């Protein structure tokens, strides 16, 4: 894996915006996913699953 495939996922927070800004780093297959990545992952600050979107 190269650094080109490394993406930063930023939390959008829960419905009250708790946990907004928490960050995960992961790898992405850019050939299979040309657009922005969006995943639901566990947010330890909000203590629940929240939406994480690909950011800079």
| 1: confidence class by pLDDT, cuts 50, 70, 90 | low
What CA–CA distance (Å, rounded) separates 26 from 38?
12
> The domain at 3-55 falls in which architecture?
Single Sheet (2.20)
Length in residues, the chain: 56
pLDDT tens profile 44-53: 999 999 999 9
Mapped onto helix, strand or coil, the DSSP state of residue 15 is coil
Task: Enter the pTM of the model.
Answer: 0.84
Residue 46 has a pLDDT of 95
pLDDT tens readout for residues 6-34: 999 999 999 999 999 999 999 998 887 78
**All structural domains of the chain with their residue ranges:** 3-55
């Amino acid at each position: 894996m190269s650094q080109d495939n490394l993406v930063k996922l930023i939390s959008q927070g829960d419905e009250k915006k708790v946990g907004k800004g928490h960050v995960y780093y992961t790898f992405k297959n850019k050939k299979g996913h040309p657009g922005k990545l969006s995943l639901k992952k566990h947010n330890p600050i909000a203590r629940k699953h929240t939406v994480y979107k690909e950011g800079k």
